[in-house]
Amino acid sequence: MSSAVATPPAPAGTPLTKKILTADHPTWCPGCGDFAVLASFYRVLEKLQYPHEKIVTFAGIGCSSRFPYFVNTHGGHFIHGRALPFAAGISLGNDELHVFVFGGDGDGFSIGGNHLTHTARKNVRLTYVIMDNSVYGLTKKQTSPTSPIGFKSKTDPWGAIDQPINPMRTLLNSGATFVARSHATQVNHMTEMMLRAARHDGFSVVEILSECVEFFEGAFDAAVPRKGGTWTLIDEKKNDHSPEDAQRHDPTDEVAAFKLAGQAWPGAFGVFYENKSRATKNALEADLIRKAKERTKGAADLALLQSTFAKMR
Amino acid sequence: MSSAVATPPAPAGTPLTKKILTADHPTWCPGCGDFAVLASFYRVLEKLQYPHEKIVTFAGIGCSSRFPYFVNTHGGHFIHGRALPFAAGISLGNDELHVFVFGGDGDGFSIGGNHLTHTARKNVRLTYVIMDNSVYGLTKKQTSPTSPIGFKSKTDPWGAIDQPINPMRTLLNSGATFVARSHATQVNHMTEMMLRAARHDGFSVVEILSECVEFFEGAFDAAVPRKGGTWTLIDEKKNDHSPEDAQRHDPTDEVAAFKLAGQAWPGAFGVFYENKSRATKNALEADLIRKAKERTKGAADLALLQSTFAKMR
Amino acid sequence: MVSPNTPETPGGTERSSVAPRSIKDVVIRLAGNSQDGIQAVGGFLARLAGRSEQDVMTYMTIPSTISGGPSIFQVRMGTGDILSAGDRADMLVAFYQHSYDAHVSSLRPGGVLLYDSDHVKPVEEDRRFTSVACPITSATVEALGGTAKDKGKNMFVLGLIARIFDLDVAKLTTLIRERFAGKNEDIVRNALLGFDAGYAWPQNNLRDLFYRFEAIDQAVARSGRPQITLDGNSAIAYGFIAAGVRYGAGYPITPWSSIMETLRTELPKYGGIFVQCEDEIASISTALGFSYTGSVAITGSAGPGLSLKMEALSWATMAEMPIVVVNVQRGGPSTGMPTNVEQSDLMQAIYGSHGDTPRVVLAPKNVEDCFYTAMEAVRIAREYSTPVLLLTDQGLSSRIEAFDEPDLPKLMIDAKVDRSERSADFKPYPLDRVTRHAPAGSRIASGKYPTVTGLEHDELGHPTGSPKLHAQMNAKRREKIKALAATLPAPEHSGEAEGDVLLVTWGSNWGPGREALARVQAAGIKGGHMHIRHVHPLPNGLEAVFARYRRIVVAELNDEGVYGFGQLALMLRARLANPAIVSVCKTDGLTFKVSELVAGIARHIGHAALLESVGTARPSPLAAR
Amino acid sequence: MVSPNTPETPGGTERSSVAPRSIKDVVIRLAGNSQDGIQAVGGFLARLAGRSEQDVMTYMTIPSTISGGPSIFQVRMGTGDILSAGDRADMLVAFYQHSYDAHVSSLRPGGVLLYDSDHVKPVEEDRRFTSVACPITSATVEALGGTAKDKGKNMFVLGLIARIFDLDVAKLTTLIRERFAGKNEDIVRNALLGFDAGYAWPQNNLRDLFYRFEAIDQAVARSGRPQITLDGNSAIAYGFIAAGVRYGAGYPITPWSSIMETLRTELPKYGGIFVQCEDEIASISTALGFSYTGSVAITGSAGPGLSLKMEALSWATMAEMPIVVVNVQRGGPSTGMPTNVEQSDLMQAIYGSHGDTPRVVLAPKNVEDCFYTAMEAVRIAREYSTPVLLLTDQGLSSRIEAFDEPDLPKLMIDAKVDRSERSADFKPYPLDRVTRHAPAGSRIASGKYPTVTGLEHDELGHPTGSPKLHAQMNAKRREKIKALAATLPAPEHSGEAEGDVLLVTWGSNWGPGREALARVQAAGIKGGHMHIRHVHPLPNGLEAVFARYRRIVVAELNDEGVYGFGQLALMLRARLANPAIVSVCKTDGLTFKVSELVAGIARHIGHAALLESVGTARPSPLAAR
Ligand SMILES: Cc1ncc(C[n+]2csc(CCOP(=O)(O)OP(=O)(O)O)c2C)c(N)n1
Ligand SMILES: Cc1ncc(C[n+]2csc(CCOP(=O)(O)OP(=O)(O)O)c2C)c(N)n1
Ligand code: SF4
Ligand code: SF4
Ligand SMILES: [Mg+2]
Ligand SMILES: [Mg+2]
C-alpha cells in the first residue's frame, strides 16, 4: 500500500490555484452551463484557501454530478440521488473537512428529494450546489421535476403536464439554514453565493440555473439581460435603520423568503434565507459526546467496555 | 376461481353502515388515538354512501397503517412508506374508485417523504390521512421526524436533538390541493375534515394528531381543553364582505397558509389550504388519451398496432 | 483517387459491364462521430434488408461523452439467417483518423478499407486490405453546394455502399423519402443529392468493387408476412402493447429509457397511461397499484434501478400481484459501464429480494424474440399472478434487426379487466388454487371485501402469525412456479443430440452461440447447442439432455465469480449437480465474438487444433480472388 | 392446594429433610401475557446461571398485537453445554387459561405443570404430568398487600422456581437488588416480598418437587473469566465496539432496532456517532460516507430494509469501500412474519445487488458467536476493503445466553484513522494490491487527489469505458474475495469423520444441529456435523470432507425452493456439483426442533427406526420415578 513518505511533498502552504485544482478535462457538451459553475467553484476555492487535503467534492449521478472528476480534491461520486446522506457521513465522520456536494435537479429534487429534507433539517454542515437545467441531461431529455409545464421532452412529447416543484420553496421548507439562488451566466454572483454558502456554519444550499444547451436551450434566458431577460438581484437588509432598509429583504424572515420564492418567473437571485443561530448536527453530536465523556469521566475505551460487561455478569 | 354468481348479492343500494364497514377487531393498544380516527372514518363513509365496491383503503406499514384491516372495503397494505405511489396507480388505473390512504408520521414524512411531494404535485385524486403520533409506534418508540426536540426515545435516550419537520409546511409545499389538520380527540372535526378531503377533486391530505398512549403519552394535550390545552379552530373566510371576514383565513392564500403553519405549538386546526382550480393528474391523462384518440380517429387497438408496424417495414 | 491496391479503372467506362461477385453476407462497420448520422445509414440498410427479405443485424457503440464523440455502427446483411453482428468487419468506412486508428484492426484480411481521404491517412505499408481513398467530405460538400457543410456525408456513404453491393436503389430512395416525410423539402433534396453523388462515385472510380447478395433460397419458408425492422427495446414495448398492457410506470435510465419513452408516447392512443415517477421505487409501486386495479402493468430499469425495486418485488410475491419488470442489463456493478452490455443481473433477478420469493425470469434471444418474450412475460404474470422479470441487455436494446411482422390478428390480446361480481366463497389467496385477485370495483357477494397484503396471511388476506399457514403459503407460492415450470417447452436444441460438448447460451448470446456450434461441428467435433429462454424456473428434463454430453459449456457475459462459474452455470450446477457443467465467461462490456466462444469450447474439451484455428483470421469474402 | 397427582404434604414438616434429585438440565416455559414480566423471570434465571458457571439459553415469542398479548419465555438451564432452548418443556408455568391451552402440549410426559389456580382449570383427566395448582395471583396479592394488585406475580414464580430447583437465593437476591437499583425502594421491597412468598410456598405445599443441578465438571476447561449474560443483538453491538467501530447509521425495524438503539446510546461514550436516518438507503449511504472518512462504519436492518440497501451495496463493491451490514433475518417475503425467525435472506446477501458483486457473508452460530462474528466482520471489511454482511436472525436477536466474558484486553481494537500523507505513487485502485483508500484529510504527495466512484475506473479512480480495464477490475474484485477464502479456517466439524450422513448447518441452527448429531449417533448411525460460519465465500476444502459421507443433509430455515434445495444447499451444490447434497428445510417461523432435524436425516438416509424414535416423546427428567 501507499505509505507515508520521508521526502517532503509540495509544501503545505502552497496557495491553491485553479491550475492545481483542475483535474480531468470536463466531458460536458460545448456551451453547457456547468462549465461556468466549475470556473466559479475554482475561484471560490482560491478565495477560501482551505488546506488542499481537507476539501471534499462529492456528487450523485448526472451530467452535473460529473463535477468532482474535474476538481482535483478528495472526492468522487456516489449513486443517483443519495449524495447528501453520503456527504452527511463525511461531514460528521470528520468535522475538519470542507464538504461540497454537486448535483442536478433530477438527482436532488426527484430521486433524492427526501434526503434533501432530512439532511437539511438536521443542519449537517456542508455546502450543496444544485445545477438546475430543468431537464434530465445525462439520460438525454426526459421531463425533470423542475421542467416547466409545456416543455417537450422524450417522456412528454406533447409538452410536460405535471406541475413542477418550486425549488426555492422546497429548499426553504427543507430546513436548510442558508438558501441562495444564482445563474450560470453570472460568474461573479455565483462565486459570491457559493462563497457565502461555504462560509456558512450549517447546511447551505445554492440553486444555480445552468442551461443544458443540448436538451433545453434557452431555458433560463428570461433572466439573461443580453437575451432580453431581466436579472433581478435580491436587495438584502443592511440593518442600517434607513427608510430604504425597510423595503429590503430580511434573509432571517422565513415568510418573506417564502413570498420571494413565489414570485413570477424568472424571479429574483441572491440569498433568500440565512439562519446563523441554529446549531449544526455536527455541534449537537459533539455535545452528546462531550456529555457522555463527562459522565464516564473520560474513561478509556477498554475500561468502558469492561465496565459494561461487568454489569452483565 | 371465484366466478360471477347468478344469485343476486345484497342489493347494491343497501346503505353502508358502520356495521357493514367493520372488519377485524383493531389490534391497537387500548386508548390509542387511532381508534377515534377509525370511528370517524366509518362516519365519513356513512355520509358519503359511495358504492361499497368502489371504496379502496390502502396503507404503508406502522400501527396506523393497520387501518385497512379494520375497514371492510377493498384494500390492503403495501410496504413501508410507499403507499402513495401505489395508491396513485390505483387512482389512475381506475378513475371510478374512491381511494383513501392511511399512514403514520414515520411512514409519510420519513421514508415516504419524497413520494408525498411527487404524488401531491401531480395532484393525483385521492385522500391521504396521516395519523401523526410523533413517534414510531409499531417499532416501539424511536424518534420520528415529527418528534419534538427533547423527546426521550430509544434512539434519543437523552432527548431528541434534530429539528423536526413542520408537517403543515411540508404538506403545503408538497403541492397538495387540499390540506387540513385535525386532532383525534375531536371526532366531529375529524369527520368534517376527512369528509371535505374526500369530496375534494384532487390530492387531499389531512394530518390528524393521534396520541400513542403506549410510547408518547400526552403528546397532544396542549390542544385538548379538558387537559388544560387550547383548541383553536381556523376561522375560514366566508366571502360575505363583512368586516370580520377580512380577518378570516383565506384557504386559497398560500402565504397565509404558510404563516398559519408557522404558529406556535399547538397551532390551529382546520383547513389550511384549498385549491379547487388545478387540474388533477387523472384529468390531464384523460385529456392526453382523448387527444391521442382524436389523432388516431379512435382506431381499434389492433389497427393501431398494425399501422405502426406498417411504418417499420 | 484509388488506392494502389485496386487496379486503376479508366473513367467513363461503363461499369455495368463488370459482373457483380456473389456473396452470402457482409459486415460493414461505419466509424465516425455520433454527430455524423452513421446510425441513420445503418438504419436505412437494415430497413432495406427487411424489405428485401434479407436478414440483417446491427451493432452500435455509444460514446462515453455526454453527447458527441466517437461512435460506430456495424451492420451485417445478407441472405439467410444472420445470427450475430459479426466478429470482424468485411468493410470499414473510416470518417476520421481516430476512426481508422481504432477500428482498422477489426477488418478481416482482404476486406475493404474505405476512408475519407480528406481526414484519414492510413498506414501506407499496410497491404492487407483493399484500400479505397474517397474524399467523402469534399465530395459531399461539392454535391450539396456551399451551405450544407458536411452534413450529408452519411447519405453519400449510403450511396457508395448501395453501388458497391448493388442494392435496390428504388427501395432505398423510397425509404429516404419516407424517413424525411413531413420535414423541410430541402432536407429530402439534400439527402437524395448526397446519396446520388455517393452512388455515382464508384462508377467513375472503382468499378470492380462490385458485389451482389446470393439469391434468396425460396425453399426456406417465410411467413409470407412482410418483414419489419426495429430495435430490441421497441420490440419489447410493442410486445407489451400486443399483450394488452395498458399501464406502466418508470424512471429514466440508460438503456431502459427508450422503452418507457415509447410506451409513454404510444399508450394514450390505446387508452392507457404511463407515468414517469420520481424514482424506481415509486415506479414499481405505481405499476403494482395499476396491477391491483386489474390490468397487469409493467415497469423496468437497468441495474441500479432494479436494485431499488427489490423490496416491492418481494411484496409482489407475497401479495401475489402480477407485474412485469424489464431489466435492460448493462455493465455493473454500481453505475459500472452504463453503455455496455453484460448479463450480470441474473442472480439478482432470481434472488435479489429478501425472503423466499419464487418468481419468473425470461430472457429474449434476439430482437424478434424481444417481442414474443414481452408477450409471454405478460401472459405468465397474468396466469400465475406473479412477478415476471424480463432480462434483456444493452446490446439487444439498440440492435436493429429485420424479422417477419408478427401475426397481430392472431396474437393481439384484448385484456379486459374482470370486475364481475365474485361469489360469496371468494378468497384472494386460496391454498388450493392460483390466486385471482378481485380488482377494486368488483362486488363481492359475501359483502366481505378482500385484503391484499405483504404480511403473511390466511386465505382471506388477513395477517397471520400461524406457523402452519406461513409454511403452507410459502409452499403455495413455490408450487405455482413449479407448475409453470412443468408447462415450459424444452429449450431450443440444435446440432448433435449427444457428443463431446453441449454449448449452452442464454439471452443475446444465442446468435454467436449458433455460429460457434457451426464452427465447432465444422472442425469435426460432435457438439450441440442449447439456448435457454426460460432462465428461471428452468424447464424440466435438462438432466437427460446434459447427460449425453461429455462437457456442458455455459457461455455468458458475466464474471466467473468466486467459484469459477457464471450465473446461469451456477444455477444449472445447483439444480443438476452435474460436474461436467463449466463456464465461458467474460466481462469486457462487449458481446461474444464467435471466436471467443469457439476458443472457450476448445479449451474446455482440450482440443488444440480447434483452439489454434481460432487464432487464424479467415479472409473476407470481399477479398480479391 | 396440591393437585391429586402430588402426595399431600402435611404443613409444617421441615422440607430440607427431603433430598433434592439430581438433574443435568431443565427446560422451563413461562406462559402468560407480555405485561406479566415473564421476560424478567427468564432474565434473572439466565443471569443466575451465568454467575453459577452454568449454561443457559432462552427463547421468547413476541405477541402479534402491538403491545400486550400472549407471550412466552422459555429458559433452559443446567450443567454442561446447553445447545438449544429445548424442543419441549420439562416444566410449564401457566398464568392463564389461554396459556395452558396453547402450551400444555409442549410439556414432556412426566413434566411439571404448575398453573395459577386463580385463572386456570386444567383438563382433569390428563394424568401425564405432575400437576401443581398454585393460587399465584391471590398468593401474590396477599404477600404484597392490597395496592400492588398482581404486579409481583413474576417474582412469586421466580421464588417458586428457586425453591423447586434449589437455586442460590443469595445470588438471586443480589440480582434483584441490582436490577432495581436506583428505582423506588418500594419496588425493591415488593419484588423481594413476592420472591420470598413464592420461595416459601413449596415448603408448605409440595415438599418433594425438589431438584438440584449436577455438580459442575471441573475438568471442563473454562476460561477463568466470569460469565456474562446477554442477548444476541447486544453481543453484536458490543462486538462492533470492541472491533473499533465508532460510526454507524440506521433506521428502525424489528428485530434489528435494538442494535441501533444500543449503538446510539453507547457510541458517544467512545467518541462516536450513530445517526438515525430517514430510511435504509440514507442509512447505508451515511455509513459509507463514514467509512470514506477512514473508519469502517456499520449499518443494518431486516429483510425489507436490506432490499433497499442493495443499490448502495453494489457501489460499495465497485468503490471497494469497507462496510459491515447486519441483517437480523425474520420471516419473509415482504413484511412477512416480522417477529419470527427465518434464514431466507442468504441468497440475497450473496447476490442481491445488480452486477457482479463479490462480497462476504458471515453468520454467527449463537449469542457468544454474535460478539466474535461482529469483530471478524469488521476485520475482514477493513483488511479486504469490502462490504461484509452479517446474517443473524430473530431467534438469536432476543435469545439470552451466558458465556465467558471475552478477553477484552487482548481483543479490543484501537482503530486509528490513517491520515498520514500518501506517497506520490498512491493509487486508490491498484490492480496488483488490495485497495487501501486514502481518507479525505490525507495529503497525497503527488498533489493528485483520488476519486472514489461507482463507475468502472482505472487505478486512479477515473471513469473508464475500456473493455480491458473492466475485465481486469472485475477480476481484481473477485480475486481478493478468493484470497480471503483461502485464509478461512476449516469449519467446525464434529462426530465421525466419515459415514452415512453429514449434517450441515449454518447460523442459529448450530445448537439443534449438535444435539441432533448426538441423537443420530446414539441410534448407531455413523454421522458427522459441520457448521459453516463463513457462508460466503465458503472455505476451501469442503469437497474432500463431503466425499466421505453417503449423504450431506443441509438443514436451514428457509424454503426448499423450486428445485428442492434450501439456500445454502443450493450454493454447496453449485460449488461442488455433489448430488449427495440434500436439504432439510422449513419455514414455520420457529427454530428447528432437534426432533425435526433427526426426522429429516432419518428420511434422507432411509432409516426407519430412527424416524420412528422421533415420534416417541422422551419423558422429562423431572418425572416421578
Ligand atoms: C438509480 C438510478 N436511476 C436512474 C439513473 C439514471 N440517471 C443518471 S443521471 C439521471 C438524471 C440526470 O438528471 P439531473 O440529475 O438533472 O442531472 P443533469 O444530467 O441534468 O445534470 C438519471 C435518471 C441512475 N444512474 N441510477
Ligand atoms: C423498509 C422498512 N423499514 C422499516 C420498517 C419497520 N417499520 C415498520 S412501521 C415503522 C414506522 C412506524 O412509525 P409510523 O409510520 O409513525 O407509524 P405508527 O406505528 O407510529 O403509527 C417502521 C420503521 C419496515 N416495515 N420496512
Ligand atoms: S447534455 Fe446538457 S447538461 Fe449534459 S453536458 Fe450536455 S449541455 Fe450540459
Ligand atoms: S403502540 Fe402507540 S400507536 Fe401503536 S397501537 Fe399502541 S398506542 Fe397506538
Ligand atoms: Mg438536470
Ligand atoms: Mg408514528
- Helix, strand or coil, per DSSP, at residue C403: strand
> Which residues in chain D have Cβ-Cβ distances shorter than 8 Å to B82?
none
Say how many C-beta atoms besides its own lie within 10 A of residue B187's C-beta: 15
Q: Best mutation site among A213, A217, A220 for ligand 3, i.e. most ligand atoms within 8 A of its Cβ?
A: A213
Interface residue ranges in chain C relative to chain A, Cβ cutoff 8 Å: 64-68, 251-254, 257, 260-261, 264-265, 276, 278-280, 304, 334-335
Give the gap in angstroms from C-alpha B134 to the nearest C-alpha of chain A. 16
Confidence of residue A235 (pLDDT cuts 50, 70, 90): very high
What's residue C148's pLDDT? 54
Per-residue pLDDT, averaged over A276-281, amounts to 98
> Which residues in chain A have Cβ-Cβ distances shorter than 8 Å to B254?
262
Confidence of residue C5 (pLDDT cuts 50, 70, 90): very low
> Which residues in chain D have Cβ-Cβ distances shorter than 8 Å to C485?
562
**Cis before C255? omega within 30:** yes
List the 284-313 stretch of A: residues with Cβ below 8 A of C.
Answer: none
Q: What is the pLDDT of residues D470-481, one digit of tens each?
A: 999 999 999 999
What's residue A1's pLDDT? 34
Give the gap in angstroms from C-alpha A41 to the nearest C-alpha of chain D. 17
Residue D9 has pLDDT above 60, yes or no: no
Residues 6 or more apart whose CB falls under 8 angstroms from that of C262 comprise C233, C234, C237, C238
What's residue D15's pLDDT? 47
What's residue D219's pLDDT? 55
| Cell numbers placing D53 | 458457571
- Helix, strand or coil, per DSSP, at residue B6: coil
- Helix, strand or coil, per DSSP, at residue D537: coil
> Which residues in chain D have Cβ-Cβ distances shorter than 8 Å to B80?
304, 335
> Does the beta-carbon distance from D278 to B28 stay under 8 Å?
no
Q: Provide the percentage of residues in chain C whose pLDDT is more than 70.
A: 95
What's residue D86's pLDDT? 84
Q: What is the pLDDT of residues B90-101, one digit of tens each?
A: 999 999 999 999
| Cell numbers placing A2 | 501507499
Judged by average pLDDT, the poorest of B77-91, C171-185, D287-301, D434-448 is C171-185
Residue of A nearest to D316 (CA): A78
Per-residue pLDDT, averaged over C460-489, amounts to 96
Distance CA A172, CA A190 (A): 19
The one-letter amino acid code at D35 reads Q
Roughly what angle, to the nearest 10 degrees, separates helices A281-295 and A83-93?
A: 40
DSSP symbol at B125 = S
- Is A55 in CB contact (< 8 Å) with chain C? no
Residue A2 has pLDDT above 70, yes or no: no
Residue D292 has pLDDT above 60, yes or no: yes
Confidence of residue C286 (pLDDT cuts 50, 70, 90): very high
- CA separation, residue A117 to residues C137, D277, D431, D534 (Å): 54, 11, 40, 40
Q: Is C252 in the pocket of ligand 1 (CB under 6 A)?
A: yes
Confidence of residue D334 (pLDDT cuts 50, 70, 90): very high
- The CA-to-CA distance between both ends of chain C, in Å, stands at 22
- Helix, strand or coil, per DSSP, at residue D416: coil
- Is A85 in CB contact (< 8 Å) with chain B? no
Give the gap in angstroms from C-alpha D266 to the nearest C-alpha of chain A. 9
What's residue A68's pLDDT? 97
What's residue A4's pLDDT? 37
- The CA-to-CA distance between both ends of chain B, in Å, stands at 43
β-strands D25-33, D387-393: how paired?
A: unpaired
Residue D396 has pLDDT above 80, yes or no: yes
Rg (CA), chain B: 22
**Ligand 6 ion local residues (Cβ < 5 A):** B 104-105, 133, 137
Per-residue pLDDT, averaged over A285-311, amounts to 97
> Does the beta-carbon distance from A163 to B284 stay under 8 Å?
no
Confidence of residue B131 (pLDDT cuts 50, 70, 90): very high
Distance CA A27, CA A18 (A): 18
Per-residue pLDDT, averaged over A17-36, amounts to 95
Averaged pLDDT of chain D:
91
Strand ranges for D195-341 from DSSP E: 211-213, 227-231, 247-250, 273-276, 297-301, 323-329
Q: What is the pLDDT of residues C533-560, one digit of tens each?
A: 999 999 999 999 999 999 999 999 999 9
Give residue B10's Cα distance to chain centre.
Answer: 30
Higher pLDDT, B1 or B87: B87
Q: Provide the percentage of residues in chain C whose pLDDT is more than 90.
A: 75
> Does the beta-carbon distance from A110 to C264 stay under 8 Å?
no
| Cell numbers placing C221 | 419458408
Per-residue pLDDT, averaged over D78-98, amounts to 89
What's residue C224's pLDDT? 81
What's residue A8's pLDDT? 39
Per-residue pLDDT, averaged over A172-199, amounts to 98
What's residue C357's pLDDT? 98
Residue D16 has pLDDT above 60, yes or no: no
- Is A3 in CB contact (< 8 Å) with chain D? yes
Q: What is the pLDDT of residues D175-196, one digit of tens each?
A: 998 888 877 888 888 899 999 9
What's residue A6's pLDDT? 38
> Which residues in chain A have Cβ-Cβ distances shorter than 8 Å to B255?
255, 258-259, 262
Q: What is the pLDDT of residues D28-38, one digit of tens each?
A: 999 998 888 88
Q: What is the pLDDT of residues D263-282, one digit of tens each?
A: 999 999 999 999 999 999 99
Instruction: Kindly state the helix (H) or strand (E) to which residue D319 belongs, with its residue range.
Output: helix D303-319
Higher pLDDT, D41 or D330: D330
List the 62-91 stretch of A: residues with Cβ below 8 A of D.
Answer: 68-69, 72-79, 82, 84-91
- CA separation, residue C304 to residues C472, D313, D388 (Å): 34, 10, 20
**Got the DSSP string for chain A?**
-----SS--S-TTPPP-HHHHB-SPP-SPTT-THHHHHHHHHHHHHHH---GGGEEEEE-SSSGGGGGGGB-SEEEE-STT-HHHHHHHHHHH-TT-EEEEEEEHIIIIIITHHHHHHHHHTT-SEEEEEEE-SSBTTTTSB--TTPPTT---SS-TT---SPPP-HHHHHHHHT-SEEEEEETT-HHHHHHHHHHHHHSSSEEEEEEE--BTTTBTTTTGGG-GGGT---EE--B---S--HHHHHSB-TT-HHHHHHHHTSSTT-EEEEEEE--SSPPHHHHHHHHHHHHHHHTTT--HHHHHHHHHHTT-
Q: Is A212 in the pocket of ligand 3 (CB under 6 A)?
A: yes
CATH topology of domain A18-278: Rossmann fold (3.40.50)
Residue of A nearest to D275 (CA): A89
Which domains, and CATH codes, for chain D?
21-221 (3.40.920.10), 229-411 (3.40.50.970), 420-478 (no CATH), 492-614 (3.40.50.920)
What's residue D61's pLDDT? 77
What's residue D621's pLDDT? 87
Checking phi first, is residue C514 left (phi over 0); if not, alpha (psi -120 to 50) or beta?
Answer: alpha
**Residues with Cβ within 6 A of ligand 4?**
B 28-29, 32, 34, 63, 133, 137, 212-215; D 66-67
Taking the domains of chain A in order of start, what are their residue ranges? Answer: 18-278
Residue C228 has pLDDT above 90, yes or no: yes
Confidence of residue A229 (pLDDT cuts 50, 70, 90): very high
Higher pLDDT, D179 or D3: D179
Give the gap in angstroms from C-alpha B112 to the nearest C-alpha of chain D. 9
Judged by average pLDDT, the poorest of C164-173, D148-157, D282-291 is D148-157
What's residue D78's pLDDT? 85
Averaged pLDDT of chain A:
95
Exposure string over A177-187, b if 16+ CB within 10 A, otherwise e: bbbbbbbbbbe
Residue C197 · residue C140 · CB < 8 Å: yes
Closest protein CA for atom 7 of ligand 1:
C253
Q: Sign (positive/negative) of CA torsion D141, D142, D143, D144?
A: positive
Judged by average pLDDT, the poorest of B208-217, C172-181, C577-586, D98-107 is C172-181
> Does the beta-carbon distance from A82 to D312 stay under 8 Å?
yes
Nearest-by-Cβ selection for D574 from C311, C563, C590: C563
Residue A85 has pLDDT above 50, yes or no: yes
The reply to whether the predicted model has a pTM over 0.90 is yes
Per-residue pLDDT, averaged over D484-504, amounts to 98
What's residue C1's pLDDT? 31
> Does the beta-carbon distance from A78 to D247 stay under 8 Å?
no
Q: Any alpha helices (H) in chain B, and if so which ranges?
A: 18-21, 34-48, 83-93, 105, 113-121, 167-174, 187-199, 243-247, 254-261, 281-295, 301-310
Cross-strand bridge partners of residue B206: B129, B180
List the 100-159 stretch of B: residues with Cβ below 8 A of A.
Answer: 110-114, 117-118, 121-123, 145, 158
DSSP symbol at C619 = P
